[in-house]
Structure 1
């Protein structure tokens, strides 16, 4: 693996990790402060990710811990029934804790991964599957550069339902910061989809 390729893989892993963090919980003051120093240009000017990245940076700079908490609660923690269920089972089967979760757990077990008992969310939460992708790219103990393994997990557990999730968020009037997060997620998944498709050609 060349230095340039290694750098690109680290950048992919970091973006998966950032998106996983943003879907899991509202950003705290420390994370918001980091975005006030974040570069607004994509690594390649004019690239597909530049505009959604700029929008995300702008929304993170405009947010406060309180406004982020309020928006997160309005979208994902509604009294009774949340506005958006960020779980694969909901989008693939219509209900939470369904067969997609069981299939995911089987694949995670094959990878030697288990859910942290302290983690409240089930494994098919969007944050969890994005974090698994980060791990498969750059985690300790995994076969570095195993694109086939990354592709298989991505196609089975990320690609099939991310677009409907992001569209559900974007349709919510309360979504401002998470509209930008959703747009960035969708754009990144599109880039990853195209990249993995090239493996098969």
Structure 2
């Protein structure tokens, strides 16, 4: 997906967009040495001190600092790349319809087309992979096209394509004995989605 993002450092929305981007990266692939180094030397503060995100963020930072490239890659493979059937399928269709490439994916593609977004042909994952959905949210928050990147589009997309299934994904990861770093990723994801849900609830009140 090709998008252009605003880089206004004073925008409060930048933090939301960046967190969606980070989570998208962690759900798509194990962290490389560069990302692990960033967590060891730079990332120390919670997104908002005293918020619901503080404890899960600190836990994620701790697990990232304890991980190695090798341990992270092995855990990611054990959870999401098992021979035959993976332990966890991070796709909306699987959790909403019981199988991958089902009706939820078709509806998602229709909704993406309506806002002018298409899948990059180079991507291996389908559009209902959690990382792709988080990247869409990132774009809807921080993109330059106000006709697409606005609060109402965020609300609609989140309600339709993230909120209905993301808790089930996070719980599925948490239940896996092999989960360590991704248990923290799942906890951070769930906490963030709950904050987002509450914010959209207030918007609709």
TM tier relative to shorter chain: over 0.9
CA distance in 1, matches of 2:92, 2:47: 31
* Structure 2 runs not aligned, ≥5 long: 1-7
CA distance in 2, matches of 1:158, 1:88: 8
Q: Which residue of 2 aligns with 1:167?
A: 171
Q: Which residue of 2 aligns with 1:157?
A: 161
What secondary structure sits across from 1:151 in the alignment?
Answer: helix
CA distance in 2, matches of 1:54, 1:40: 8
> Which of 27, 32, 38 is the equivalent residue of 2:31?
27
> Which of 51, 65, 73 is the equivalent residue of 2:69?
65
CA distance in 1, matches of 2:27, 2:54: 20
Q: Indicate the structure with greater helix content.
A: 1
What secondary structure sits across from 1:119 in the alignment?
Answer: coil
Across the aligned residues of Structure 1 and Structure 2, the Cα RMSD in angstroms comes to 1.6
Contact 1:90 1:96 in 2 (8 A): yes
Q: CA deviation at 1:145?
A: 6.4
Q: Which residue of 1 aligns with 2:194?
A: 190
| Alignment length (residue pairs) | 198
Q: Which residue of 1 aligns with 2:83?
A: 79
- The C-alpha deviation readout for 1:90-118, integer Å capped at 9, x for no partner, is 00000000000000000000010000000
Pairs within 5 Å for 1:12-161? 12-143=16-147, 146-161=150-165
Q: Which residue of 2 aligns with 1:199?
A: 203
CA distance in 1, matches of 2:102, 2:90: 14
Per the normalisation by structure 1, the TM-score is: 0.94
